[in-house]
Chain A
Amino acid sequence: MKLIIAIIQPHRLEQVKEKLYDAEVNLITVSEVLGHGRQKGVTEIYRGFKETGNLLRKIRLEIAVNDNFVEPTIRAITEGARTGQIGDGKIFVLDLPECIRIRTGESGGEAIG
């Protein structure tokens, strides 16, 4: 099991969601975050309003998947979020030791889907 965390441009969320649904990845947590990359937000100012300091608004996605879904998920996020310009974001893939569904108490791979 892996936990995929992606930071993307806010205005690409719709496309990313569509691509994820196409890849049959339907479980997703979304939050609004602030941050900046190597350019410290400076070069990106024409497409994002600067918050406190140089922080820019981004969307953070968290998706827990079984191993066979890792590649399709990464592909979907990349296709949906890529504009080719600075600030498109990053994808982090983490090992996920355990997952428990609260309602039933199931754990492991079957609890994810």
Chain B
Amino acid sequence: MKKLLLLILVVLCLSTANVFGESGTTQSQQTAIATPAALKVDTGDTAWVLISSALVMLMTPGLAFFYGGLVRRKNILGILMQCFIILAALSLQWVLFGYSLSFSPGNGFIGSLKWFGLRGVGLEPYPDYSATIPHQAFMIFQAMFAVITPALIIGAFAERMKFSAFLIFTLLWATFVYDPIAHMVWGVGGWLRNLGVLDFAGGTAVHINAGIAALVTAIIVGKRKCYDKHPTPPHNLPFSVLGAALLWFGWFGFNAGSALGANGLATNAFVVTNTAAAAAALSWAFLDWRFNGNPTMLGTISGAVAGLVAITPAAGFVGIGAAIMIGLLVSVFCFVAVGFVKRRFGYDDSLDAFGIHGIGGIWGALATGLFATKAINPAGADGLLLGNPRQFLIQLAAVIVTIVYALVITFIIYKLVDVVIGVRVVEEEEAMGLDLTQHNERAYTMLE
């Protein structure tokens, strides 16, 4: 195992050294032949996309605290570590080959390795994605999406997965599930993109994708040992509130940054994002109040996150009224999924990665097909409510394709990792907690 990892590392080092050596010359050649008039970098747009990239980066540690507060205190470092190592590992995967597989010209299904090691991805704009910002700015913005997507899944198998298995699973999943779906939806030549799917900031590629992977892994990894006996209350709800607040903050980069410019569309995305999150937080709080007796802190932050998920694909295509509807309703759907469906079918989606991101993502993608309007974004389309049922059907098709693809490939990857090294920790390790057994650390001491 260790030898294998070492070998991979050496190969990567050699190949990157080679690539970076070449990319210098490629870039200078490009600069020489570039036509300055067509490829003018806009400073405002570039500043906004770089800041947005930083905002989205902060979402992954934010998610770590959101999830970390919800687990038992013997597992919080396990969660923080998984999120942090994803930030590190996926950042490398992305610049080496992930970005190329997702966004370089390829077929309808996946990109090529043409941009391996960012060869040819320079500091000039690449007009197919954005004509006003450096290509690498677009690349690093997308990198943060590639980082947070697999991090969303860990909520499903929290408190019971081996760290080694998690690491291999995540790298394979990012490469064989996220990268192809991102290409299909956003990449030049991607067949869902060509079909006319509206996905402003990642409802299908990020949230449905991760949500379905969460459901699959939660079911096949099995329940936590204590799941049927007693509930496991969050060990530090204030952490979760902090995490949710950081997610809300970072989501402005996620959605408004997806306009890829400092412009009116970005402002629209910013405003509807805030509105939907607010509506969904209120909605969930009142549902809690009505059906569980009290408005809870956990319910309110769950609602806010669900609202942010749901508005993601719609942010650049809908206005305020639609944002309020999307927010109010997403909490209803997720509330039912988390409170009743999960209990009914008895799967242990520990931190509701499917219940919030899967369900919220599906609703958001379909709602885009309902509420979209060209009045907000002339480059978009009208939705069902404006007399264009075709758009709704396209959205539905994209949802189904994403679900089926994520379901099948996630299942295969999981089984593969399980056969090779085993995914789940043994019972004693689960009882002792992942902090101690996987990392030999503890989050909290008792004396001093």
Q: Are B432 and A47 in contact (CB under 8 A)?
A: yes
Contact of B447 with A49 in the complex, beta carbons under 8 Å? no
Give the docked Cα–Cα distance between A55 and B447 (Å).
Answer: 10
Residue of A nearest to B431 (CB): A11
Task: Give A103 Cβ to nearest chain B Cβ, in Å.
Answer: 26
A49 touches B448 (CB 8 A): no
Could you tell me if A51 and B441 are in contact, using CB atoms closer than 8 angstroms?
A: no
Question: Does A72 interact with chain B (Cβ within 8 Å)?
Answer: no
B408-448 interface code vs A (CB 8 A; 1 in, 0 out): 00000000000000000000100111001000111001111
A34 at the interface (CB under 8 A from B): yes
B6 within 8 A of A: no
In the complex formed, the residue of B with least CB distance to A83 is: B428
Whether B432 and A51, one on each chain, are in contact in the complex, defined by CB atoms closer than 8 angstroms, is no
Find residues 17-66 in chain A having any chain B CB closer than 8 Å to their own CB: 32, 34, 47-49, 51-52, 55, 57
- Cβ of A89 under 8 Å from chain B: no
A10 touches B446 (CB 8 A): no
Is B14 an interface residue, CB under 8 A from the partner? Answer: no
Is B4 positioned at the interface, with any CB of A under 8 Å from its CB? no
What secondary structure prevails in chain A residues at the interface with B? mixed
- Cβ-defined contact, A14 with B445, below 8 A: no
A residues in contact with B441, CB < 8 Å: 49
Least CB distance from A19 to B in Å reads 14
The residue that B447 contacts in the complex, of A12, A14, A48, A52, with Cβ under 8 A, is A52
Say which residue of B428, B442, B447, B448 sits within 8 Å of A11 (CB atoms): B428
* In contact, B448 and A52 (Cβ under 8 angstroms): yes
- Distance (whole angstroms) from the CB of A33 to the closest CB of chain B: 8
CB atoms of B446 and A51 under 8 A apart: yes
Task: Find the residue from B225, B226, B441, B442 having the highest chain A CB count within 10 A.
Answer: B442
Contact A11 B432 (CB under 8 A): yes
Contact of A51 with B440 at beta-carbon distance under 8 Å, contacts A10-B432, A14-B226 already known: no
Nearest residue (CB) in A for B229 is: A14
Cβ–Cβ < 8 Å partners of B445 in chain A: 51-52
Give chain B's interface residues, CB within 8 Å of chain A: 225-226, 229, 428, 431-433, 436, 440-442, 445-448
Closest 9 CB pairs of A and B: A11-B431, A11-B432, A49-B442, A52-B447, A34-B446, A49-B436, A52-B448, A51-B445, A51-B446
